[in-house]
Amino acid sequence: MTKAPAPVIVLVRPQLGENIGTVARAMLNFGLTELRLVAPRDGWPNPAAGPAASGADVVLANARVFDTLADAVADCTDVYATTVRKRGVTKPVLTPEAAATQVHATSGRSAYVFGPERSGLDSDDVALAHNIVTVPINPAFGSLNLAQAVILIAYEWSKGEALASPPEVPLDPPAPHRELEDLIDHLVRDLDAAGYFFPPERTTATLRTLRTALTKTGWSHNDIRMMHGIVTTLGKARKSTRGGDN
């Protein structure tokens, strides 16, 4: 089966250049590069878009402007309107995940359509689409900005792509238990000198609790070395204070 082309992102009557820039950034994060603008309010290009794109310049440089939504999606076989249900408009309603599955399964080009920041798509815009995509969201607070909406859609589509994950940083290996015992001994000596173990009859139980807490973590060699330094420094500070009192 022929691999489906990447979908295009269509912004209908976008209002702020900054929002177009953040959309470009969201797109490129997940491998989408084709942006189409329908009648942007402040014209195009918009100098405010570049800084907001944070390096997604290739998306902005190749963005195309159209007078109408019909022109913007003329070469697309599947058009998805991202919106809530519209009265009087009967369309299949999909989640972002279900829509992404359909986009990957089609051989034609798909378009995700987003409306203006304040009002969203109007009924005529939605009527032109083949499907509605609605994000499940908290009914008590359903406010998504434009870039957030785009990134949700782009992320679901990207699951079907071989995008590289961020490089994994290996964790330091755990230190031998001997090093942890040395740290516990060091800590106990300084705590004892500071009078921490009081009353004396509780010393055994307190030591057991301390050991239990310290052996829960996967201390590395560097962790233990740092803790030795902390304990030593606190001991020096205490001795210095006592010397000053004398």
- The pair phi, psi for residue 35, each rounded to 5°, is -115, 130
Domain map of the chain by residue range? 8-158, 177-245
Stated pTM of the model: 0.69
Dist CA 147 CA 18 (whole Å): 10
- What percent of the residues of the chain are helix, what percent strand, and what percent coil, each to the nearest 5? 45, 10, 40
Dist CA 192 CA 130 (whole Å): 75
Q: Which residues contact 66 (CB under 8 A, 6 or more apart)?
A: 36, 37, 38, 39, 72
- The pair phi, psi for residue 56, each rounded to 5°, is -85, 50
Q: Where is 113: in which H helix or E strand? A: strand 110-114
Domain 8-158 = CATH 3.40.1280.10: yes
**pLDDT tens over the chain, length 246 residues:** 578 899 999 999 999 999 999 999 999 999 999 999 999 999 999 999 999 999 999 999 999 999 999 999 999 999 999 987 656 678 899 999 999 999 999 989 999 999 998 888 998 999 999 999 998 888 788 778 999 999 999 999 999 887 666 667 777 888 888 898 998 999 888 888 888 888 888 889 988 988 888 887 788 888 888 888 888 888 776 666 666 555
